């Protein structure tokens, strides 16, 4: 089980029973998610992460350390044997649907109509279809058709 976030007051979880809050404690800042995004795009070196994100070295160093401490990135020696590189772990790769959902929300709401933006495509070059959460019976789920069951069983 992950440890409480070092960023939270007194090292405690922001909301210990909420998976969304815990996830945000672990990766809920701009730089962490951009590092994970770039790692998914094949970036491995500190220099390349910094170049692509524009983040200050001290902040990048902190985010790489934090992502490693929480098991999302692993450090390994590069093939040249001269530098360390950062690679996603299975836990880090499991963030793919999260980043996909953020990307697709951004495609729909963060650009003006017709404004150019990057597009995620599959291996055949076809745009990845929009995520659509569905229930066990195939019905589309929305915030109006779902509810949270608290850890104590209450609503």
**Domain-embedded: residue 66:** yes
State the 10-residue block means of pLDDT for the chain, 155 residues long. Answer: 56 84 92 97 96 97 96 94 94 97 96 95 96 96 94 78
Q: What's the structural domain count of the chain? A: 1
Q: Token digits for 125?
A: 């070059």
**Domain-embedded: residue 117:** no
Q: Token digits for 154?
A: 């209450």
CATH number for 90: 1.10.10.10
Q: How far apart are CA 35 and CA 52, in angstroms?
A: 9
- pTM assigned to the model: 0.86
């Amino acid at each position: 089980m992950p440890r409480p976030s070092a960023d939270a007051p007194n090292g405690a979880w922001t909301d210990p029973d909420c998976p969304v809050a815990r996830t945000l404690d672990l990766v809920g800042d701009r730089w962490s998610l951009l590092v994970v995004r770039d790692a998914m795009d094949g970036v491995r070196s500190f220099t390349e992460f910094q170049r692509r994100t524009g983040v200050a070295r001290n902040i990048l160093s902190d985010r790489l350390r934090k992502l490693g401490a929480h098991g999302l990135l692993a450090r390994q020696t590069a093939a040249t044997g001269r530098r360390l590189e950062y690679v996603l772990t299975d836990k880090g790769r499991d963030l793919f649907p999260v980043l996909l959902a953020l990307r697709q929300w951004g495609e729909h709401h963060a650009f003006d109509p017709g404004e150019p933006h990057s597009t995620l495509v599959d291996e055949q070059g076809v745009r990845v279809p929009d995520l659509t959460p569905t229930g066990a019976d195939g019905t589309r789920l929305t915030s109006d058709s779902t509810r949270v069951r608290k850890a104590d069983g209450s609503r």
